[in-house]
Protein backbone atom coordinates (compact mmCIF):
# COMPACT_ATOMS: atom_id res chain seq x y z
CA UNK A 1 0.00 0.00 0.00
CA UNK A 2 1.62 3.16 -1.20
CA UNK A 3 1.47 6.28 0.98
CA UNK A 4 3.97 8.55 2.74
CA UNK A 5 4.28 6.86 6.07
CA UNK A 6 6.21 6.46 9.29
CA UNK A 7 6.10 3.62 11.78
CA UNK A 8 5.19 3.98 15.43
CA UNK A 9 5.70 0.86 17.54
CA UNK A 10 5.44 -1.32 14.44
CA UNK A 11 2.28 0.29 13.02
CA UNK A 12 2.16 2.38 9.82
CA UNK A 13 0.72 5.91 9.97
CA UNK A 14 0.31 8.58 7.27
CA UNK A 15 2.60 11.62 7.44
CA UNK A 16 0.02 14.17 6.39
CA UNK A 17 -2.58 12.97 8.86
CA UNK A 18 -0.55 11.75 11.84
CA UNK A 19 2.71 12.52 13.57
CA UNK A 20 4.71 10.76 16.26
CA UNK A 21 3.55 13.56 18.54
CA UNK A 22 -0.14 13.05 17.71
CA UNK A 23 0.02 9.29 18.36
CA UNK A 24 2.03 9.74 21.51
CA UNK A 25 -0.44 12.42 22.71
CA UNK A 26 -3.25 9.86 22.70
CA UNK A 27 -1.17 7.13 24.23
CA UNK A 28 0.34 9.17 27.03
CA UNK A 29 -1.38 12.53 27.50
CA UNK A 30 -5.05 12.34 26.54
CA UNK A 31 -7.22 12.75 29.63
CA UNK A 32 -10.07 10.33 29.17
CA UNK A 33 -13.32 11.37 30.89
CA UNK A 34 -15.52 8.76 32.52
CA UNK A 35 -18.43 9.52 30.19
CA UNK A 36 -16.34 9.41 26.99
CA UNK A 37 -17.60 7.11 24.24
CA UNK A 38 -14.94 5.77 21.87
CA UNK A 39 -15.90 4.68 18.38
CA UNK A 40 -13.09 2.28 17.47
CA UNK A 41 -12.64 0.46 14.16
CA UNK A 42 -10.10 -0.76 11.67
CA UNK A 43 -10.46 1.58 8.62
CA UNK A 44 -13.41 0.99 6.28
CA UNK A 45 -15.36 -1.03 8.84
CA UNK A 46 -18.24 1.40 9.37
CA UNK A 47 -16.65 4.18 11.45
CA UNK A 48 -18.74 6.97 9.94
CA UNK A 49 -21.93 4.95 10.17
CA UNK A 50 -21.28 4.48 13.89
CA UNK A 51 -20.50 8.20 14.28
CA UNK A 52 -23.95 8.93 12.87
CA UNK A 53 -25.69 6.38 15.11
CA UNK A 54 -23.89 7.58 18.24
CA UNK A 55 -24.48 11.27 17.44
CA UNK A 56 -28.19 10.57 16.99
CA UNK A 57 -28.41 8.53 20.19
CA UNK A 58 -26.62 11.31 22.07
CA UNK A 59 -29.24 13.79 20.81
CA UNK A 60 -32.23 11.50 21.44
CA UNK A 61 -32.88 10.91 17.73
CA UNK A 62 -32.90 14.62 16.86
CA UNK A 63 -31.04 14.98 13.54
CA UNK A 64 -30.39 18.73 13.85
CA UNK A 65 -26.79 18.33 15.05
CA UNK A 66 -25.99 15.71 12.39
CA UNK A 67 -27.31 18.06 9.74
CA UNK A 68 -25.42 21.12 10.97
CA UNK A 69 -22.03 19.89 12.23
CA UNK A 70 -19.72 17.69 10.17
CA UNK A 71 -19.23 14.10 11.27
CA UNK A 72 -15.52 14.80 11.70
CA UNK A 73 -16.20 17.61 14.18
CA UNK A 74 -18.84 15.58 16.02
CA UNK A 75 -16.51 12.62 16.56
CA UNK A 76 -12.92 13.47 15.59
CA UNK A 77 -10.21 10.83 15.28
CA UNK A 78 -8.08 11.12 18.40
CA UNK A 79 -4.82 10.13 16.70
CA UNK A 80 -4.87 12.84 14.02
CA UNK A 81 -2.69 15.94 14.07
CA UNK A 82 -5.59 18.35 14.53
CA UNK A 83 -7.33 16.38 17.30
CA UNK A 84 -6.16 18.62 20.17
CA UNK A 85 -7.91 21.57 18.43
CA UNK A 86 -11.06 19.53 17.76
CA UNK A 87 -11.04 18.16 21.30
CA UNK A 88 -11.58 21.64 22.74
CA UNK A 89 -14.90 21.94 20.90
CA UNK A 90 -16.40 18.61 22.01
CA UNK A 91 -19.36 18.54 24.38
CA UNK A 92 -19.93 15.79 26.93
CA UNK A 93 -20.48 12.96 26.58
CA UNK A 94 -17.69 13.19 24.03
CA UNK A 95 -17.78 10.84 21.05
CA UNK A 96 -14.22 10.16 19.93
CA UNK A 97 -13.30 8.05 16.91
CA UNK A 98 -10.16 6.01 16.55
CA UNK A 99 -8.53 3.46 14.29
CA UNK A 100 -5.77 2.78 16.80
CA UNK A 101 -4.87 -0.78 17.69
CA UNK A 102 -5.35 -1.83 21.30
CA UNK A 103 -1.67 -1.56 22.24
CA UNK A 104 -1.47 2.12 21.22
CA UNK A 105 -4.73 3.22 22.84
CA UNK A 106 -4.91 5.97 25.48
CA UNK A 107 -3.38 4.63 28.67
CA UNK A 108 -5.79 6.73 30.71
CA UNK A 109 -8.75 4.89 29.17
CA UNK A 110 -7.80 1.72 31.02
CA UNK A 111 -8.15 3.51 34.38
CA UNK A 112 -11.47 5.14 33.46
CA UNK A 113 -15.14 4.20 33.21
CA UNK A 114 -15.30 5.36 29.59
CA UNK A 115 -16.80 3.02 27.00
CA UNK A 116 -15.63 1.60 23.70
CA UNK A 117 -17.77 0.53 20.79
CA UNK A 118 -15.74 -1.62 18.40
CA UNK A 119 -17.23 -2.20 14.95
CA UNK A 120 -15.84 -4.94 12.72
CA UNK A 121 -16.53 -5.85 9.10
CA UNK A 122 -15.91 -8.74 6.75
CA UNK A 123 -12.24 -8.17 5.89
CA UNK A 124 -12.84 -8.99 2.23
CA UNK A 125 -15.35 -6.14 2.03
CA UNK A 126 -12.85 -3.90 3.86
CA UNK A 127 -10.30 -4.64 1.13
CA UNK A 128 -12.84 -3.72 -1.56
CA UNK A 129 -13.85 -0.52 0.22
CA UNK A 130 -10.19 0.36 0.73
CA UNK A 131 -9.41 -0.37 -2.90
CA UNK A 132 -11.92 2.25 -4.02
CA UNK A 133 -10.84 4.66 -1.28
CA UNK A 134 -7.23 4.59 -2.53
CA UNK A 135 -8.48 6.02 -5.81
CA UNK A 136 -9.99 9.10 -4.20
CA UNK A 137 -8.12 10.02 -0.98
CA UNK A 138 -5.12 12.33 -1.37
CA UNK A 139 -2.77 10.42 0.92
CA UNK A 140 -2.61 7.45 -1.45
CA UNK A 141 0.05 7.89 -4.11
CA UNK A 142 -1.58 5.83 -6.79
CA UNK A 143 -4.66 3.69 -7.10
CA UNK A 144 -3.79 0.22 -5.94
CA UNK A 145 -3.49 -2.96 -7.91
CA UNK A 146 -6.15 -5.20 -6.35
CA UNK A 147 -3.95 -8.30 -6.02
CA UNK A 148 -1.19 -6.21 -4.44
CA UNK A 149 -3.70 -4.70 -2.02
CA UNK A 150 -4.86 -8.15 -0.90
CA UNK A 151 -1.25 -9.17 -0.28
CA UNK A 152 -0.44 -5.95 1.57
CA UNK A 153 -3.57 -6.37 3.68
CA UNK A 154 -2.78 -9.94 4.74
CA UNK A 155 0.84 -8.98 5.46
CA UNK A 156 -0.17 -5.99 7.59
CA UNK A 157 1.49 -3.63 5.16
CA UNK A 158 -1.32 -1.12 5.51
CA UNK A 159 -2.34 2.12 7.16
CA UNK A 160 -2.95 1.27 10.85
CA UNK A 161 -1.20 -2.08 10.41
CA UNK A 162 -2.62 -5.58 10.34
CA UNK A 163 -6.38 -6.10 10.46
CA UNK A 164 -5.77 -9.48 12.12
CA UNK A 165 -3.70 -7.91 14.90
CA UNK A 166 -6.27 -5.12 15.30
CA UNK A 167 -9.17 -7.52 15.79
CA UNK A 168 -7.21 -9.90 18.00
CA UNK A 169 -5.86 -7.03 20.09
CA UNK A 170 -9.28 -5.52 20.74
CA UNK A 171 -10.93 -8.89 21.35
CA UNK A 172 -8.82 -9.11 24.51
CA UNK A 173 -11.48 -6.77 25.90
CA UNK A 174 -14.49 -8.77 24.76
CA UNK A 175 -15.58 -9.65 28.29
CA UNK A 176 -14.99 -6.18 29.75
CA UNK A 177 -18.19 -4.36 30.72
CA UNK A 178 -16.85 -1.12 29.15
CA UNK A 179 -16.50 -2.80 25.74
CA UNK A 180 -19.22 -3.47 23.18
CA UNK A 181 -18.53 -5.08 19.83
CA UNK A 182 -20.74 -5.33 16.80
CA UNK A 183 -20.30 -6.05 13.12
CA UNK A 184 -21.17 -4.00 10.06
CA UNK A 185 -23.15 -7.02 8.86
CA UNK A 186 -25.27 -7.06 12.04
CA UNK A 187 -25.91 -3.34 11.63
CA UNK A 188 -27.11 -3.97 8.08
CA UNK A 189 -29.23 -6.98 8.97
CA UNK A 190 -30.91 -5.49 12.02
CA UNK A 191 -30.33 -1.74 12.33
CA UNK A 192 -33.11 -1.20 14.87
CA UNK A 193 -32.09 -4.12 17.07
CA UNK A 194 -28.50 -2.87 16.93
CA UNK A 195 -29.52 0.64 18.02
CA UNK A 196 -31.53 -0.82 20.92
CA UNK A 197 -28.48 -2.83 22.06
CA UNK A 198 -26.24 0.23 21.76
CA UNK A 199 -28.66 2.33 23.84
CA UNK A 200 -28.68 -0.37 26.51
CA UNK A 201 -24.88 -0.49 26.59
CA UNK A 202 -24.71 3.30 26.82
CA UNK A 203 -27.42 3.52 29.48
CA UNK A 204 -29.54 5.73 27.22
CA UNK A 205 -33.31 5.47 27.33
CA UNK A 206 -34.94 6.37 24.02
CA UNK A 207 -38.60 5.88 23.22
CA UNK A 208 -39.76 4.03 20.08
CA UNK A 209 -40.08 7.18 17.96
CA UNK A 210 -36.60 8.33 18.95
CA UNK A 211 -35.12 4.92 18.08
CA UNK A 212 -36.91 5.01 14.72
CA UNK A 213 -35.40 8.42 14.09
CA UNK A 214 -31.88 7.16 14.88
CA UNK A 215 -32.37 4.30 12.39
CA UNK A 216 -33.86 6.56 9.71
CA UNK A 217 -31.23 9.29 9.86
CA UNK A 218 -28.28 6.87 10.01
CA UNK A 219 -29.39 4.89 6.95
CA UNK A 220 -27.05 4.82 3.97
CA UNK A 221 -29.44 6.94 1.87
CA UNK A 222 -29.96 9.57 4.58
CA UNK A 223 -26.22 9.85 5.16
CA UNK A 224 -25.53 10.04 1.44
CA UNK A 225 -27.88 13.02 1.19
CA UNK A 226 -26.50 14.75 4.30
CA UNK A 227 -23.58 17.01 3.34
CA UNK A 228 -22.42 16.95 6.97
CA UNK A 229 -21.95 13.17 6.76
CA UNK A 230 -21.13 12.35 3.15
CA UNK A 231 -17.68 13.99 2.94
CA UNK A 232 -18.70 16.08 -0.11
CA UNK A 233 -17.56 19.21 1.71
CA UNK A 234 -13.95 18.07 1.55
CA UNK A 235 -12.06 19.95 -1.13
CA UNK A 236 -11.12 17.98 -4.24
CA UNK A 237 -7.41 18.07 -3.38
CA UNK A 238 -8.29 15.92 -0.35
CA UNK A 239 -11.02 13.74 -1.84
CA UNK A 240 -11.30 13.46 -5.62
CA UNK A 241 -15.09 13.61 -5.96
CA UNK A 242 -14.85 13.12 -9.72
CA UNK A 243 -13.47 9.62 -9.20
CA UNK A 244 -15.89 8.31 -6.58
CA UNK A 245 -17.87 8.83 -3.38
CA UNK A 246 -16.93 8.19 0.20
CA UNK A 247 -20.38 6.67 0.76
CA UNK A 248 -19.83 4.24 -2.08
CA UNK A 249 -22.18 1.22 -1.91
CA UNK A 250 -22.86 0.44 1.74
CA UNK A 251 -23.51 -3.28 1.24
CA UNK A 252 -22.09 -6.54 2.47
CA UNK A 253 -20.63 -9.11 0.09
CA UNK A 254 -19.31 -6.72 -2.56
CA UNK A 255 -16.10 -8.77 -2.40
CA UNK A 256 -17.85 -11.33 -4.61
CA UNK A 257 -17.75 -8.87 -7.52
CA UNK A 258 -14.04 -8.09 -6.99
CA UNK A 259 -12.20 -11.23 -5.81
CA UNK A 260 -11.40 -14.02 -8.25
CA UNK A 261 -11.97 -17.56 -6.95
CA UNK A 262 -8.20 -17.93 -6.52
CA UNK A 263 -7.92 -14.64 -4.57
CA UNK A 264 -10.81 -15.63 -2.34
CA UNK A 265 -9.29 -19.05 -1.61
CA UNK A 266 -5.88 -17.48 -0.93
CA UNK A 267 -7.46 -15.02 1.51
CA UNK A 268 -9.63 -17.64 3.24
CA UNK A 269 -6.64 -19.89 3.86
CA UNK A 270 -4.67 -17.11 5.51
CA UNK A 271 -7.76 -15.99 7.42
CA UNK A 272 -8.27 -19.50 8.87
CA UNK A 273 -4.64 -19.70 9.94
CA UNK A 274 -4.40 -16.27 11.47
CA UNK A 275 -7.77 -16.32 13.24
CA UNK A 276 -7.79 -19.89 14.58
CA UNK A 277 -6.26 -19.02 17.96
CA UNK A 278 -9.00 -16.44 18.59
CA UNK A 279 -11.62 -19.17 18.85
CA UNK A 280 -14.49 -16.87 17.89
CA UNK A 281 -16.86 -16.82 14.94
CA UNK A 282 -18.10 -13.66 13.31
CA UNK A 283 -21.36 -12.79 11.60
CA UNK A 284 -19.76 -12.34 8.17
CA UNK A 285 -18.76 -16.00 8.27
CA UNK A 286 -22.45 -16.96 8.37
CA UNK A 287 -24.02 -14.59 5.84
S1 LIG B 1 -13.08 5.30 7.12
O2 LIG B 1 -12.46 5.97 5.94
O3 LIG B 1 -12.17 4.27 7.67
O4 LIG B 1 -13.51 6.23 8.14
O5 LIG B 1 -14.34 4.54 6.52
P6 LIG B 1 -15.54 3.89 7.35
O7 LIG B 1 -16.51 4.93 7.71
O8 LIG B 1 -15.00 3.03 8.43
O9 LIG B 1 -16.16 2.89 6.27
C10 LIG B 1 -16.67 3.36 5.04
C11 LIG B 1 -17.61 2.29 4.53
O12 LIG B 1 -18.82 2.30 5.30
C13 LIG B 1 -19.92 2.49 4.42
N14 LIG B 1 -21.02 3.19 5.12
C15 LIG B 1 -22.25 2.66 5.28
N16 LIG B 1 -22.74 1.45 4.93
C17 LIG B 1 -24.04 1.21 5.23
N18 LIG B 1 -24.86 2.11 5.84
C19 LIG B 1 -24.40 3.32 6.20
N20 LIG B 1 -25.21 4.17 6.80
C21 LIG B 1 -23.03 3.64 5.93
N22 LIG B 1 -22.24 4.72 6.15
C23 LIG B 1 -21.02 4.42 5.64
C24 LIG B 1 -19.33 3.28 3.27
O25 LIG B 1 -20.16 3.29 2.16
C26 LIG B 1 -18.02 2.53 3.07
O27 LIG B 1 -18.22 1.22 2.53
P28 LIG B 1 -18.21 0.89 0.98
O29 LIG B 1 -18.20 -0.62 0.90
O30 LIG B 1 -16.97 1.49 0.38
O31 LIG B 1 -19.47 1.47 0.41
Mean pLDDT of 256-275: 97
Q: What gap in Å lies between CA 104 and CA 10, rounded to an integer?
A: 10
Mean pLDDT of 230-259: 96
Q: What gap in Å lies between CA 218 and CA 53, rounded to an integer?
A: 6
- Does residue 214 contact residue 206 with C-beta atoms inside 8 Å? yes
Band of residue 2 on the pLDDT scale cut at 50, 70, 90: confident
Q: Look at residue 287 and tell me whether its pLDDT is greater than 60.
A: no
Report pLDDT for 141. Answer: 83
pLDDT in tens, 175-225: 999 999 999 999 999 999 999 999 999 999 999 999 999 999 999 999 999
- CATH number given to 2-275: 3.40.50.300
Q: What gap in Å lies between CA 259 and CA 252, rounded to an integer?
A: 14
Nearest CA to ligand 1 atom 3: 43
- Does residue 156 contact residue 162 with C-beta atoms inside 8 Å? yes
- Does residue 213 contact residue 228 with C-beta atoms inside 8 Å? no
162 within ligand 1 shell (Cβ under 6 A): no
Q: What gap in Å lies between CA 125 and CA 131, rounded to an integer?
A: 10
CA of 129 to the centre of ligand 1 (A): 8
Catalytic: 99? yes
CA of 44 to the centre of ligand 1 (A): 6
Band of residue 284 on the pLDDT scale cut at 50, 70, 90: confident
Maximal C-alpha separation, the chain: 49
CA of 170 to the centre of ligand 1 (A): 20
- Atom nearest to 125 CA in ligand 1: 29
DSSP secondary structure code for residue 187 in this structure: H
Mean pLDDT of 229-258: 96
pTM: predicted TM-score of the whole model, two decimal places = 0.97
pLDDT in tens, 32-82: 999 999 999 999 999 999 999 999 999 999 999 999 999 999 999 999 999
Q: Which of 45, 54, 56, 129 to mutate to test the pocket of ligand 1 (most atoms within 8 A of CB)?
A: 129
* Phi (first) and psi of residue 106, to 5 degrees: -55, 120
pLDDT in tens, 75-125: 999 999 999 999 999 999 999 999 999 999 999 999 999 999 999 999 999
Report pLDDT for 160. Answer: 98
CA of 163 to the centre of ligand 1 (A): 16
pLDDT in tens, 131-152: 999 999 999 987 679 999 999 9
Q: What gap in Å lies between CA 133 and CA 225, rounded to an integer?
A: 19
Residue of 254, 253, 282, 246 whose CA lies nearest to 48: 246
Nearest CA to ligand 1 atom 30: 129
Report pLDDT for 1. Answer: 85
Amino acid sequence: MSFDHFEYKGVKFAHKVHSEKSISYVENELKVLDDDIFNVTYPKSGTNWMIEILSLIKHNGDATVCQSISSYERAPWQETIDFPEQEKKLTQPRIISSHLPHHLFAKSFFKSKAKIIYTMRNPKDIIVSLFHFTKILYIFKESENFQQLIEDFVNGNALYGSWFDHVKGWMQMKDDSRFFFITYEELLKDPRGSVVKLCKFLGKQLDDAQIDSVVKHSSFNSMKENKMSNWTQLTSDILDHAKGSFLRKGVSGDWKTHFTVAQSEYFDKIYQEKMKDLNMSFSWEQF
